[in-house]
């Protein structure tokens, strides 16, 4: 009698044809059953199990390969590489196989669903994929190869708010009102036959609040977030990556699709594909595209200037005296009493930090706090801040600004 573990494991291999051999092996292991083949993302059996939507256990007689990994956000978690699971879902008994192998330069992942009939395999695949398609307390991150869920990024979004954001005049309120109006206008857009989509670009030198505002906006909107980390494909097709990014966004919509440092992602070679997707040749209803750039001069005018692509541009300039005063006051108020900056000295700091970005203001306080902690002497924070201010001034003359906020 053939060992079932041998049947499945021998079908694996680094060369082409692995998918076919695995399918044939499953047909041998489950004679007379229906096999749904080749499922990829967003099908994720582990997530479906963790959500309590089904039960699964490794099938006896077939070695299950797991990899235990650690992340700061999630601790130690078990990642399935290759295994066959017996699954109980609603009133059905199914089997799900997962396999990874190398083909060319790529790591390939596939799933197969096995059940008594084709209708059951399809119903289960639809249920799993539909559930896993939404982020569920995570941000979907595209790294140029595949989508992953980032709980750490989601936590950063949840920690950001407009209340903590220092911007010139009524800019923060204007941005929040703009997005609130868009999200509430779905029926109005439909009534007039206008696609319910929007593109917004945050522009300005680094360190002046674009990233903080972007995260606060995502939290405020309360819709799934898809974050594009990179479009570059080491061995694949960049145009295909762009198409896949927008395809996933349309599946999750309403959602916000984020491109941070857009000028570094869009090139002369991939521009036309990006513009076609942004224009919405396919349905883009409910798609809010948010992008940032430190260098608007590097963006093609077709992206920067044409309406209906990025309908609104918000400029994040260096903070003026009023914004610096509020930032310095807020920082001082959060410090222990012995470290606080007297009101009489805050005015001098406001004047002395002319030309500072928020990132530099933050560095001013952090570095001063570290110096104060060495001696912890009451009333010395003002002198330490002045000394650090001179140091940062010298750095500004010779280096690029620290990236932040």
In the block, residue with structure tokens 């108020």: 333
391 and 335 share one domain: yes
Question: Cβ neighbours of residue 370 under 8 Å, at least 6 residues apart?
Answer: none
Structure tokens at 106: 């790529």
Do 182 and 310 share a structural domain?
Answer: yes
Q: Note the pLDDT of residue 1.
A: 46
**Within a 13 Å sphere around the CA of 289, how many CA atoms are in the beta-carbon half?**
27
- DSSP assignment, residue 14? S
Give Cα separations from 91 to 54, 87, 361 (angstroms): 10, 11, 60
Opening angle at CA 46, ends 41 and 50, nearest 5: 130
In this structure, is residue 387 part of a structural domain?
A: yes
- Residues 197, 276, single domain; the answer is yes
At 16 the pLDDT is: 56
Whether residues 290 and 374 fall in one domain: no
**Per-residue confidence (pLDDT) for residue 342, from 0 to 100:** 85
Same domain, 298 and 330: no
Q: Which CATH number covers residue 224?
A: 3.40.50.300
Range of the structural domain that residue 378 is part of: 321-398
Residue 375, in any domain of the structure: yes
- Contact between 73 and 111 (Cβ < 8 Å): no
Q: Are residues 103 and 117 in the same domain?
A: yes
Asked whether residue 353 is assigned to any structural domain, the reply reads yes
Same domain, 302 and 331: no
Q: pTM to 2 decimals?
A: 0.77
- d(Cα 91, Cα 84) in Å, to the nearest integer? 20
Q: Indicate whether 36 and 165 sit together in one domain.
A: no
- Shared domain check, 122 and 178: no
Spatial neighbors of 215 by CB under 8 A, at least 6 apart, are 156, 157, 159, 160
Residues 232 and 303 in one domain: yes
Residue 405 lies in a domain: no
Q: Indicate the residue among 85, 104, 133 that finishes a domain.
A: 133
Domain termination site, one of 261, 282, 315? 315
- Asked whether residue 210 falls in the same domain as residue 103, the answer is no
CA atoms in the 13 A half-sphere facing the CB of 110 = 19
pLDDT at 323: 93
The 10 Å Cβ neighbour count of residue 77 is 12
Place of tokens 């140091």: 391
Positive or negative: CA dihedral 46, 47, 50, 54: negative
List the chain pLDDT tens, one digit each, 405 residues.
Answer: 456 556 666 666 655 568 888 888 899 999 999 999 988 878 999 989 989 999 999 999 888 888 887 866 567 777 888 999 999 999 999 999 999 887 776 778 899 999 999 999 999 999 999 898 888 888 999 988 788 888 889 999 999 999 888 888 889 999 999 999 999 999 998 898 888 989 999 999 999 999 999 999 999 999 999 999 999 876 668 899 999 899 999 888 899 999 999 999 998 889 999 998 888 755 668 889 999 999 998 998 888 887 778 889 999 999 999 999 999 999 989 888 888 888 888 999 999 999 999 999 999 999 999 999 988 888 888 889 999 999 998 887 776 555 454
Residue 96 lies inside a defined structural domain of this protein? yes
Half-sphere exposure of 97 (CA within 13 A, CB side): 28
Could you give the CA distance from residue 221 to residue 133 in angstroms, rounded to a whole number? Answer: 19
296: in domain: yes
Number of domains in the chain: 3
**Cα gap 163→182, rounded to integer Å:** 21
* 403 lies in some domain: no
Cβ-count burial 166-192 (b if 16+ within 10 Å, e if not): bbbeebbeebbebbeebbeeeeebeee
Residues 393 and 292 in one domain: no
Tokens at residue 150, please?
Answer: 């980032």
First-to-last alpha carbon distance for the chain, in angstroms, is 64
The last residue of one of the domains, among 106, 133, 160, is 133
404 in any annotated domain: no
């Amino acid at each position: 009698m053939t060992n079932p573990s041998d049947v499945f494991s021998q079908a694996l291999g680094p060369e082409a044809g692995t998918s076919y051999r695995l399918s044939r092996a499953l047909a041998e292991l489950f004679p007379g059953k229906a096999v749904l083949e080749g499922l990829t993302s967003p099908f994720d059996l582990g997530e479906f199990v963790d959500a309590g939507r089904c039960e699964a256990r490794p099938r006896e007689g077939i070695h299950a390969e797991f990899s235990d990994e650690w992340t700061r956000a999630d601790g130690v978690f078990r990642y399935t590489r290759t295994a066959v699971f017996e699954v109980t879902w609603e009133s059905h008994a199914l089997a799900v196989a997962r396999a990874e192998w190398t083909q060319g330069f790529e790591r390939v992942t596939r799933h197969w669903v096995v059940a008594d009939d084709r209708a059951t395999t399809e119903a289960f695949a639809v249920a799993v994929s539909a559930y896993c398609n939404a982020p569920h307390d995570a941000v979907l991150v595209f790294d140029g190869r595949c989508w992953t869920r980032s709980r750490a990024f989601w936590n950063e979004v949840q920690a950001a708010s407009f209340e903590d954001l220092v911007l010139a005049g009524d800019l923060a309120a204007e941005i929040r009102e703009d997005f609130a109006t868009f999200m509430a206008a779905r029926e109005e857009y439909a009534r007039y036959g206008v696609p319910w989509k929007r593109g917004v670009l945050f522009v300005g030198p680094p360190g002046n609040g674009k990233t903080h505002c972007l995260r606060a906006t995502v939290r405020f909107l309360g819709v799934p977030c898809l974050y594009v980390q990179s479009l570059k494909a080491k061995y694949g097709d960049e145009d295909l990556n762009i198409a896949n990014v927008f395809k996933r966004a349309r599946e999750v919509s309403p959602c916000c699709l984020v491109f941070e440092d857009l000028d570094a992602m869009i090139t002369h070679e991939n521009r036309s594909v990006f513009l076609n997707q942004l224009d919405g040749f396919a349905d883009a209803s409910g798609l809010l595209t948010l992008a940032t750039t430190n260098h608007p001069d590097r963006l093609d005018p077709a992206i920067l200037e044409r309406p209906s692509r990025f309908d609104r541009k918000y400029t994040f300039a260096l903070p003026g005296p009023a914004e610096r005063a509020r930032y310095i006051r807020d920082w001082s108020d959060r410090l222990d009493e012995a470290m606080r900056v007297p009101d009489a000295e805050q005015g001098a700091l406001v004047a002395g930090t002319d030309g500072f970005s928020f990132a530099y203001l933050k560095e001013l306080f952090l570095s001063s706090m570290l110096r104060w902690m060495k001696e912890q002497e009451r009333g010395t924070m003002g002198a330490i801040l002045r000394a650090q201010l001179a140091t940062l001034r010298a750095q500004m003359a010779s280096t690029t600004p620290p990236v932040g906020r």
